Chain A
């Protein structure tokens, strides 16, 4: 017989006690995999007592793509293309994790201009990812206008992606050894214009939502995750920063010279959905700051490491140098072979810690590539956050976890 009296912690020091008449029957409801608000093909089996959630069981695997197995069948440099597609809201960040891992194993480092371009792409992608999150979370909770505003700005990021790499989404721009192409002058102009108008746009989103009574009703006090629980459940990204823990891989385990930029970690103490919303808004502002600095001090130089064992020589050299021809041939038929060993590199994506663990057996194809998916781990916290809430709050909680099922299922 379910309890008639239940206590629930909404925020640090704030608990709510409910005493109700209980019918005694549990209704099991199936959410999706085809559902407009589950942010992908997520299936949740929810046990309801009236409207109150008693148990949540996430069922995943509906987007399992066999990416890790596919990468074992591809050469190291071919694998970059496949890495784009697991967390499909932040493809350059996935590329970055893989590229840094391979470079660490091979013992090469990308030149400074490439690192700055990587930072630019990474932050642009973070903004794009948060815009999609904001738009879809808004529309799921009934705020229809914000979706259109966010997509308007995301189009600008996709135009930037297209300018620099030719692709709107799956750029495969960041690869082991550097980046595929240098930034064109038009890209730098477009980026400058984007940075100038972004703070005003973020202010527009805040004007729409931050003090909106409906938004506050639907997100404040919902989905509370304490700092201890966040660490215990392995949550990363805005899930842990929204609970007051200032853990951000760009500050605490910096890569790509992130430590040379001047920016703040976005932290909120409240631990509910509203706090995580504020964290993501602040992250967009900080990303714009980082973009400004990266653009202003973009160093000159090559964008690819000058190591013929990793990247092919320029095509002009093939006419004159036999060695260049041999390197070119070797790279395009067999590919390079990192020395045997394993390495793990983690980068901060829009969802949290997105890591790449690669194992090399010394051949031209990986032995094992494992993606540490932020969504896979954050999804385990959803049950904890949802217990005791009403069924309508389930949508807000799934939204705040910002899971991408491609990332969770790989």
Chain B
């Protein structure tokens, strides 16, 4: 809906849009990852991406929350072992909606180099994943790229509930 008769000078100062777009824009630009560093990918994907070289803070993800209840994104950085899988699921369940999951690296996406009894062959066996990043470990730029893809996804989701 628009304004029928804009007042003097009001034209440049009013934007009209949908609630979905505003909410999507707000959510996408302030995605707070949970600190869920498991293995090698955590060094590249959490530490170096948050570090001075690649700076995830300029994408809005400065606040890497320790508590999952305050986070919206879980970047699964590393291999998920049999003992860790229920813990991961519990952390995921503790995150409030809306929440997203990025599966970083080959181990989190498919089991990676480790096709054996000890490693879950892909974290998507226990949580729904939004973006997969291949690599062992992926470069921090890959993580930023995945974050940007996720941001597009979040903007497109708007205020629709997640099925």
Contacts and interface: CB of A to CB of B under 8 A. Distances in A.
Interface of A: 33-36, 40-41, 61-67, 69-70, 73, 81-82, 85, 88-89, 132, 135-136, 147-148, 151-152, 154-155, 158, 168-170, 405-406, 409
Contact of B82 (A40, A64, A73): A64
A85 B113 contact: yes
B91 to A, nearest CB: 5
B34 to A, nearest CB: 8
Contacts of B37: 40
A61 B47 CA distance: 23
Contacts of B148: none
Given A152-B52, A406-B40, A63 B139 contact: no
Interface string B43-57: 110011001110000
B35 A88 contact: no
B43 to A, nearest CB: 7
B48 to A, nearest CB: 6
Interface string B28-69: 000000011111101110011001110000000000001010
A70 B43 contact: no
Nearest to A405: B39
Contacts, number: 100
A168 B138 CA distance: 9
Given A67-B114, A132-B47, A406-B40, A33 B81 contact: no
B83 interface: yes
Contacts of A34: 35-36, 68, 87, 91
B102 interface: no
Nearest to A87: B40
A132 B38 contact: no
B118 interface: yes
A148 B81 contact: no
Contacts of A66: 114, 116-119
Contacts of A73: 116
B126 interface: no
B87 A169 contact: no
B126 to A, nearest CB: 15
Q: Which of B36, B79, B91, B118 has the most CB of A within 10 A?
A: B118
Contacts of B39: 40, 63, 65, 85, 88, 405-406
B137 interface: yes
A406 B80 CA distance: 12
B51 A170 contact: no
Nearest to B119: A65
B11 to A, nearest CB: 45
A65 to B, nearest CB: 5
Interface of B: 35-40, 42-44, 47-48, 51-53, 66, 68, 78-79, 81-84, 87, 91, 113-119, 136-137, 139
A33 B48 contact: no
A89 B115 CA distance: 22
Contacts of B82: 64
- Top-5 shortest CB links A-B: A151-B51, A66-B118, A88-B40, A66-B116, A36-B66
Contacts of B117: 66, 69
Contacts of B87: 33-34, 41, 62
A35 B66 contact: yes
Nearest to A84: B40
Contact of A63 (B38, B43, B51): B38
B118 A65 contact: yes
A33 B116 contact: no
Given A34-B87, A148-B52, A169-B137, A63 B44 contact: no
Contact of A169 (B36, B44, B53): B44
12 contacts: A35-B66, A62-B87, A63-B81, A64-B82, A70-B113, A148-B52, A151-B51, A155-B52, A155-B53, A168-B139, A169-B137, A406-B40
Contact of B81 (A81, A132, A151, A409): A409
B112 to A, nearest CB: 9
A69 B117 CA distance: 9
A409 B83 CA distance: 11
B40 A85 contact: yes
A152 B53 contact: yes
Given A64-B81, A69-B116, A36 B139 contact: no
A169 B40 contact: yes
A33 B88 CA distance: 10
B61 to A, nearest CB: 15
A40 B82 CA distance: 16
B101 to A, nearest CB: 14
A151 B136 contact: no
A155 B48 contact: yes
A403 to B, nearest CB: 13
A208 to B, nearest CB: 15
B49 to A, nearest CB: 10
Contacts of B40: 85, 88, 169-170, 406
A34 B93 CA distance: 14
